[in-house]
Amino acid sequence: MRQPAQQKYVWHDLLTKALSYSLPEIPIVLAAIIYTHWRGAQQTLGGVAFYYPYAMFGAGVLLGWRFRRSRLLFALLLFALVDRTLLGFVTSRGFTRDHVAFQAMAFLLPLNLAALALTAERGVFTPPGLVRLGLILGQIALVAVLDRGTPGAAAALLHARLLPPRLFVWTPLADPALLAFFASAGLMGASLLLSPTSTGRSFSWALLPAFLGLSQVRAGNPGFSTFYFATSALILIVAVVEASYHMAYQDGLTGLPARRALNEALLRLGSRYTVGMVDVDHFKRINDSHGHDVGDQVLKMVAAKLAQVGGGGRAYRYGGEEFAVIFPGKSVEECAPELEALRTLVEEAKFILRSRIRSKRKKEKILAEKGPGKRVLVTVSIGVAERDDRYSKPDQVVKAADRALYRAKDGGRNQVRT
């Protein structure tokens, strides 16, 4: 049966995870769909939309080069090659779904995006980067050979019937291309569940506008495909900006906002707020007894509990085994129950230490919240202070909360002191 303090935050956890997988990508994709299906939006924003692809390509190249994001640069290259080729078809020969080159590009594009998403940054003019570039250029040559050399055999292969035709009659993509999109989406989705990153999430979402762009290719509106490819580029660009922000403002170990974010948040607070300083009890003993790897796992698990704070509070990694929680517009009396609930949540959590065999020579100690193993008792002490006439500056409030924290430790730990 779930403990009361844990049960309180179940929906908070689910909502946070759902938002982390869908923002800001869903609004971006919805905006693109609305524009391409609403004539009023096209008439109003047509002038801006004309420059939109050029702006995205330019911004993507600048950001990718400045922040050394080779995967973004290669993705932009793929979108540009596919888009220019499709527009060439429309203006010169007219578009039909039977074009070998179109089906070949529709088959290769999602597979290339999946390959970029599932591999690490390796640079552009490095040996791995040059291999990637060579593979992309080799695919261009392959498509040209298929289109001009053996169009009959290639068309038969690329138009093979593998799926129920009634379900996909609305898209010009043949079954092999559709399966390539489905397989790429599945691979990237599985990777995202196992190891969620902003880059992996962005590549997963970028598949959708790319698919819509290929599905919207028509002689009458060739610009829609360009618009959707630019939207895929925008999603990838936002991920680069988000990753750069996280590197500066998010703690890499716990995932909580870092001390720089805390300092800036304190400066934005009004005349009334409360600060809680949280410290893991006997953390040095945990490190000495079980090793620093287990100590890091304890910090991550404690941070996950603190992130569930209610009452409008927000948790931050202050440094070492110390955390901070700020409550804008709240008094100590209003925040004390929330901090007590956090203390109880950590105390009641089951930190189970067990060994996972990685090889015959080495055993890795891991922490889990269930299963067999030895329980590691983890508690926290909390000191709380409120801004008032005596403590009017943010650093004074933090120091006052720190002094209350030391009183909590001197008083026996695992308690909240104001």
User: Which residues of the chain, if any, have pLDDT below 50?
Assistant: 1-2, 5-6, 9, 219, 358-360
Q: Which position has the token pair 């004074």?
A: 396
**Could you count the other beta carbons within 10 Å of the beta carbon of residue 131?**
11
Predicted confidence (pLDDT) per residue in 71-112, tens digit:
999 999 999 999 988 887 765 655 566 688 889 999 999 999
Predicted confidence (pLDDT) per residue in 122-153, tens digit:
899 999 999 999 999 999 999 888 888 777 88
Query: Domain-by-domain residue ranges, the chain?
Result: 19-248, 259-417
Length of the chain: 418
What SS3 class is residue 356?
Answer: strand
Helix (H) or strand (E) holding 352, with range, is strand 352-357
- Homologous superfamily in CATH for domain 259-417: Reverse transcriptase/Diguanylate cyclase domain (3.30.70.270)
Percent with pLDDT over 90 in the chain: 52
- The number of CA neighbours under 13 Å toward the Cβ of 143 is 21
Contact 380, 281 (CB under 8 A): yes
Cα–Cα dist 80/89, whole Å: 14
Q: What is the DSSP letter of 125?
A: S
Give me 274's structure tokens.
Answer: 């409360």
Contact 413, 343 (CB under 8 A): no
- What are the residue ranges of helices labelled H in 67-126? 70-92, 100-118
> No. of H helices and E strands in the chain?
16, 8
Give me 103's structure tokens.
Answer: 């089906």
Predicted confidence (pLDDT) per residue in 267-286, tens digit:
888 889 999 999 999 999 98
Predicted confidence (pLDDT) per residue in 213-241, tens digit:
998 875 456 678 999 999 999 999 999 99
Angle (nearest 5°) at CA 385 between 381 and 387? 160
Q: What is the DSSP letter of 328?
A: E
Model pTM above 0.85: no
Q: What is the DSSP letter of 166?
A: G
Cα–Cα dist 277/111, whole Å: 48
Contact 335, 315 (CB under 8 A): no
Per-residue pLDDT, 10: 56
Give me 234's structure tokens.
Answer: 């925008």
Contact 133, 124 (CB under 8 A): yes
Task: Compute the Cα dihedral for 64, 69, 74, 78 and give only its sign.
Answer: negative
